[in-house]
Each structure stands twice: as structure tokens, then as C-alpha cells.
Amino acid sequence: MKNLKMDNIRDYLMTNDIKPSYQRIRIYEYLMNSYDHPRVDEIYKALIDEIPTLSKTTVYNTLNLFIEKGIIHMVTIEGTEVRYDVDISDHGHFKCDVCGKVYDFKADIVEIETNLGESFIINQKDLFFRGICPSCSVKN
């Protein structure tokens, strides 16, 4: 998505106060190239072949570190399903109830008006839709 190359990921992590270890670079790289908001297990399974020593704990540690430093977001649409998103720009998520795929969409989330007073300090806004995606509704 951001079209960063290996060296640029290294710089990007460093500017965000993250030491660019090999594992961290590869995990960020994977997130960058995956449009489907992967779960921990998918990330682990995708990398274990090329990084045979990789531990699932490292994946968890790294993702939590990335979140803490603000370079990725956690995406929770339903139940206990936790996904990760390297795109931290303002956008919404749609999950198809049939195929389970998660789509990004544009929305003016900032513009949404509420009856929360000004005394509420809002740090994050998330918008989740669910339903049936085009390719699944065609099959039906």
C-alpha cells in the first residue's frame, strides 16, 4: 500500500521509536502487503516458512509494540476476532458474513455528529459494518 521498501521500513520503524529487528521488519512488511486485515495466526503461518525460528510470542509482542507506538491499529469487528491494520488513516471496515472477508471503505468519520458533550475527549473513532459482499450476493 505505502510502497515502502525494506530499507524504508527500517527507517519508518526507527522514526517511531522501534528498533528495527529482522522479525519486526518482516512482520510490518507482511502487514503492508496484505489487504485483508490478518489475524495473528495468519501472520505467523505466512512467515514461519521463511523464518523457521519465529515464535508466535514474537508476533504477539511485535504487534502489541506496533499498536503501542501507534503505527498499526487493532480491528475488532465481532466477538473475539482480533485483526490488525497497517492503514491507520481514517476509514471504515465492512465484514462479509458469508466469506468473512474484511473490506475497507471511505467515510467521513470525523464529521459524524453525536450528542456527546465537549467534555468527552475522543481519541479514536471506529466504524464497522456487516452484511454480504458483492461477490457473495452474486452466488446467491
Partner DNA sequence: AATAAATTTGTAATGATTACAATATAAAAT
Partner DNA sequence: ATTTTATATTGTAATCATTACAAATTTATT
Does position 127 bind a second copy by CB under 8 A? Answer: yes
* Of 35-43, 96-104, 106-114, 127-135: span binding DNA (CB under 7 A): 35-43
Q: Which of 1, 60, 99, 131 binds a second copy (CB under 8 A)?
A: 131
Q: Per the structure block, which three cell numbers stand in for 77?
A: 469487528
Kindly report the number of other CB atoms within 10 A of residue 117's CB atom: 6
Nearer to Zn ion, 51 or 98 (CB): 98
Burial of 87: CB neighbours in 10 Å, binned 0-12, 13-18, 19+: middle
The SS3 call for residue 2 is coil
User: Which entry of Mn ion, a second copy, DNA, none binds 56, CB below 5 to 8 A by partner kind?
Assistant: DNA
C-alpha to C-alpha distance for 38 and 24, rounded to whole angstroms: 16
Q: Rule CB under 7 A: which residues touch DNA?
A: 19, 21-24, 39-41, 51, 53-58, 60-62, 64, 79-80, 82
